[in-house]
Amino acid sequence: MNGNVLAESLMLCARHGKNDVVEQILEMVHRIRSQSFAVADVVDFKHHHKKITPLMAAAMHGHVGMVELLLKHSANTELRDHENGLTALH
């Protein structure tokens, strides 16, 4: 399994508040991380169309538990979207 598949899965689950699935994905990433991708590549993945991270998606959709989970796994709060330059905290 490659990092992009995991990142896309994490993005979709974060957007829909699927905390249990995201926790499993992040546990898997920590177990299988390799030189080809790191945990940050998945947690801070920017969606190719919307240019937002899972943290941004979770925050936009009001999934507080998901935001806390992603922050626990070191999601970067400084990343900005490409549309209006906002972070997940704005």
Q: How do residues 10-61 score in pLDDT, each as one tens digit?
A: 889 998 999 999 999 888 887 776 655 667 677 777 766 668 888 998 998 9
- The Cα–Cα gap between 44 and 55 comes to 8
User: What predicted TM-score, i.e. pTM, was given to this entire model?
Assistant: 0.71
Question: In sequence order, what are the residues at sequence separation of 6 or more whose Cβ sits closer than 8 angstroms to the Cβ of residue 4?
Answer: 45
Contact 49, 57 (CB under 8 A): no
CA atoms within 13 A on the CB side of 29: 26
Contact 6, 24 (CB under 8 A): no
